[in-house]
Structure 1
């Protein structure tokens, strides 16, 4: 991989890792559905005037926008707003890798390998330990509802991955075109949800008293985490083999945990740290487990 591409890949990983801290900061000054609605408004406009609409049926564009955009970030923003630590959120949402594999096996008849199943089981143990330790009253604890909402975000992301795979197979299109035009889909649902759950008074107050930090958060989430991140990642996946690029995503929760500690002062209890390590072990086995027999045979 060229040096400049390594720097770009690292830039995307850091951008996505810090993204969870930025979400937390943005939610301090704005309700979750309103923040998400404004985010995707900025993703879509003015980009749709410069990027051609993808040549795919509307049903697939709608499905992609409602899963990977609306579903994922409705659950994630609400979970973080209700108390999910930003660092742990960056780790838990990686469960999307396991959900995607299970859905691909069920819906697309793809085969699961031994390391995929073992990785899922190990990560599931880690998440059950996190859920078991979750409490809304214990200092430093995680309430169960935010944890389940974050898992809901991971499931929505995985549904978007399956939709994206179908689109890629039947209607190949550019990543940026899909991201920009699908951003139109969740805008109205987010604003409707904000009006229903937050109320017009909260929306008005948030917009009239919007802080500089909230504005900067929206800029970061829209232009850096979404447009820059997806554009560069998509190009890297086209330019190099998947095995060179995909493992780099494992650095996202590492950056997320570190940035949450440095910028927000979030710390992990002993049980949270142990659970997180078990989840990371499951992710690593899922990603690299197929190389274990090869290494063992080479050693013999």
Structure 2
């Protein structure tokens, strides 16, 4: 990769890592489901009028919008609002690579190699260590919600692979239009109109900045830049930079939010990142000689983090 593009990849990983701090700030101003709805509303508008028509079928946009926007981010925001630390959230979400491999095996028939199985076992061991540490200091329910968010992310990864969008920015902007109404409806149902109106009525510059940051910086700029890099380089070259996300997430949470990093968390981080690396970047098994080769779109690994 050119040095400029390496810097761009590191910048996106840093943005996605620090984004967990911004989410924590936003949750001080909004109920979690409302905050998630506002994120996608601002990400979709006005960008949807400038990216052109959707380049994949609506069934994929709706599927990814519900699994990524409603399930993944809804569960993540609720979990963080319930007490899941921002830094630990950035780490635990990386287990999405394991869920992606398992779902791809169940749905697409992609048999994992031995080294990927080892990687999944190592990553799940890291999740277990993180759960032990969180159980000693925080609510396990919030931890479980974050793991569930990672599973939902795995579903959206597999759907994205099936969709094979030719333009990542166009795809992400149109996907962002899907979760807005479901999230608003869920917020009104579970968080209540009065709580939502109070949050909107007391809106200040920090709340606005949090929404704009997670929508335009982390979503539109982040995914747009990531898609640009994936169009220029193989996914196996770009994807390893995603392992920097929890590094930036945990360090920025410790720096800006004062979150402590325990020895068990460092052990969990080493296991989880190492396991995800094995799971994500091991070479796929060679197809039989009589098998038709995969198309470039079908053979790419999903490589889009937060």
Asked if TM exceeds 0.5, the reply is yes
2:148 maps to 1:152: yes
> Does the Cα contact within 8 Å between 1:54 and 1:174 map onto a contact in 2?
no
Q: How many residues align?
A: 284
TM-score, structure 2 as length reference: 0.89
2:214 maps to 1:221: yes
Question: Could you tell me which residue of structure 2 aligns to residue 253 of structure 1?
Answer: 246
Structure 1 runs not aligned, ≥5 long: 291-300
> Does the Cα contact within 8 Å between 1:20 and 1:90 map onto a contact in 2?
yes
Question: 1:107-166, CA deviations, whole angstroms, 9 ceiling, x for partnerless residues?
Answer: 11212111211111111112122223433xx5xx13111111111111111111111111
TM-score, structure 1 as length reference: 0.90
> Does the Cα contact within 8 Å between 2:12 and 2:226 map onto a contact in 1?
yes
Output the CA distance in 1 between the equivalents of 2:122 and 2:99. 14
Output the CA distance in 1 between the equivalents of 2:219 and 2:33. 17
> Does the Cα contact within 8 Å between 2:120 and 2:275 map onto a contact in 1?
yes
Cα displacement (A) at 1:223: 0.5
Output the CA distance in 2 between the equivalents of 1:289 and 1:182. 29
Output the CA distance in 1 between the equivalents of 2:275 and 2:139. 23
Output the CA distance in 1 between the equivalents of 2:9 and 2:133. 35
Cα displacement (A) at 1:199: 1.0
2:117 maps to 1:124: no
2:198 maps to 1:205: yes
User: For residues 178 and 25 of structure 1, do their structure 2 counterparts lie closer, same or farther at Cα, with a shift above 3 Å needed?
Assistant: same
Report SS of the residue matched to 2:178: helix
Question: Could you tell me which residue of structure 2 aligns to residue 271 of structure 1?
Answer: 264
2:236 maps to 1:240: no
Cα displacement (A) at 1:56: 2.9
> Does the Cα contact within 8 Å between 2:10 and 2:244 map onto a contact in 1?
no
> Does the Cα contact within 8 Å between 1:54 and 1:173 map onto a contact in 2?
no
